[in-house]
A and B are shown apart, each in its own frame.
Chain A
Amino acid sequence: MIWAIRDTWTITRRDLIQWVVTPWRVVGELAFPIMFVLLFGYVFGSGMRVPGGGDYIDFLLPGLFVMTMAFGIGNTMTVVATDVERGVMDRFRSMPMTPSAVVTGRCTADMLNSAAGLAITIACGLVVGWEWHEGLARAGLAVAFLLLLRFACLWVGIWLGLMVGSPEAAGAVWGLLFPITMITSAFVAPELMPGWLGTVAEWNPLSSTVTATRELFGNGDAAGSWIASHAVLMAVVWPVVLSAIFFPLSVRRFQRLSR
């Protein structure tokens, strides 16, 4: 047990050292949310309408928080695929370390990275005038929902990374997956989309977290359909369902490496 924790920490540490060694990565990670806030808040935002006539920046930021979490799928997938291709995964598996530490270490490192990314995006939001209006407790709950979503994305990323097996293929898969993260209520209210697309966007698991965090931050309510008015419930259900599907798939895929 003690070794499971130490090995997890060693794997996590391996990832965290990368941040120290390559400061430009921190710059890149910082630039990303700033770019998104500027691009969507001001470039696209000048032409955006919020149903009920709210402030677009208020409407947008919860969407960007969710995007930051969803992009974690791409990061996790690429790192896992790189380890598989380079034989690092084989080396780990031939060593007397706790086998599950490969996964729990990845998990810890990615959650820490994403928490940092989220903190940066929140800071960017505060700079451009976004605010939470419902008190710290509800804002904290919203952050918890976001991290829960990231946890689900982790297993999707690990499974996909093990499946594709090379960083190039991971890039291609992420290219296909990327639009799915956009067909949500993150940037545009689904009721403003063509009917069928609006429904798809509303039922996108990411949208439930967007809507729920919007409610909790006090950045506007989405009323109407069942899925929108049960967003807080679904922001728990979706990530739990996704984890329940992709966690066992990842474990099985990991075991299949030795078949």
Chain B
Amino acid sequence: MAYSVPGLAIEAIGLHKRYGSTVALDGFDLAVPEGTVCGLLGPNGAGKTTAVRIFATLLRLDEGVARVAGLDVASQAREVRFRIGLTGQNDAVDEILTGRQNLETFGRLFHLSPRAARRRADELLERFGLADVARKQVKTYSGGMRRRLDLSASFILAPRVLFLDEPTTGQDPRNRNEVWDAIRSFVTEGTTVLLTTHYLDEADQLADQISVIDRGRVIADGTPEELKARVGGSQVDVVVSMEALPVAALALERVCGSVTVDDDRRRITGPAHEPVPTLEAALRALDDVGVVAEDVALRRPTLDEVFLSLTGEAVAA
């Protein structure tokens, strides 16, 4: 069973990992094609971090086979380490050193020559918008700047595979966007990214493929769209003026069967059993009662709704 599929950046077959009596991974399988972003989605304690630590050669596995960039993580750990980058939940940088000194140190530990390490540090600082603060101590950096420095440290060798363990946990929305942009820029250079998150919108924003993990195994996978389609039930959203809200709600109820009205947003939402015909019927019904919609949308269920229906429990947002 220990085969290697060409074109796969990450491959896991039947991973098992126990800590004492706690089972962290229980038959975990994963296949991530090169150059894609895979989101590992699951609640805390589902085994996401354990899986990443095994792929990043930090943790020995009990059973199974794990390959990264075609190399076995157990027997070829050193070769794997030349081809990966890791950004964990904390900013693994030295507060007292400057941003540039941090990247230089890591560059030299990646066995670049002192000159090459300096040049690479400057390149990355420029690229991640840290050139202005390159010579300032990291403890003066904002949260988003630290995160970007941490990300650039894992990108020193332009790794084939990048592991990001909850890269935006505890970051404010602006920092999250900055981090997302940085991650997207890695992917354009052909790096494969494995991203763990419990933020559904993060997986939705970044991932080509999502594996939903619960109790140490993958319980569903596919593109975000496929996962949403699995739960089915598109929704039609209509926004109308305040005065028209009651009339429009009645008209739409006749089309959709049932609706929910959000007074604050002046939005009416109803299930669209056959997406496009339902949308057309809804617009005709509004027209019949003389209401002009301000906004109309047909939307898939959110990943929150997907996760809820797959596991029967909500994800802490």
Interface set of A (CB-CB < 8 Å, partner B):
3, 6-7, 10-11, 13-14, 17-18, 21-22, 85-88, 90-97, 101, 257-259
Contact = CB atoms under 8 A, between A and B. Distances in A.
A68 to B, nearest CB: 22
A93 B97 CA distance: 20
A22 B108 CA distance: 22
B94 A14 contact: yes
Interface stretch (B35-43, B51-59, B185-193, B271-279): B51-59
A96 B81 contact: yes
B31 to A, nearest CB: 22
A94 B58 contact: yes
Contacts of B105: 10, 13-14
13 contacts: A7-B109, A18-B96, A22-B96, A85-B90, A87-B89, A87-B90, A90-B58, A90-B92, A91-B106, A93-B58, A95-B109, A258-B58, A259-B59
Contacts of A6: 108, 111
Contacts, number: 77
Interface residues on B, range: 20 to 34
B60 interface: yes
B224 interface: no
A90 B108 CA distance: 17
Contacts of B84: 94
Pairs of residues from A and B, 9 with the lowest C-beta to C-beta distance, nearest first? A87-B92, A96-B81, A91-B92, A87-B90, A87-B88, A97-B109, A94-B86, A10-B108, A94-B56
Counting chain B CB atoms within 10 Å of each CB, which of A3, A17, A90, A259 scores highest?
Answer: A90
A257 B58 contact: yes
A96 B110 contact: yes
B261 interface: no
B interface secondary structure, majority:
loop
A177 B140 CA distance: 33
Contacts of B111: 3, 6, 96-97
A101 B92 CA distance: 17
Given A91-B106, A95-B110, A258-B60, 16 more contacts: A6-B111, A13-B105, A14-B97, A14-B101, A17-B97, A17-B101, A18-B96, A21-B137, A22-B96, A90-B86, A90-B88, A95-B81, A95-B109, A96-B82, A97-B111, A101-B109
A67 to B, nearest CB: 25
A93 B73 CA distance: 13
Interface string B125-137: 0000000000001
Contacts of B96: 18, 21-22
B101 A86 contact: no
A69 B60 CA distance: 37
Nearest to A98: B109
B268 interface: no
Nearest to A85: B90
B256 interface: no
A17 B105 CA distance: 10
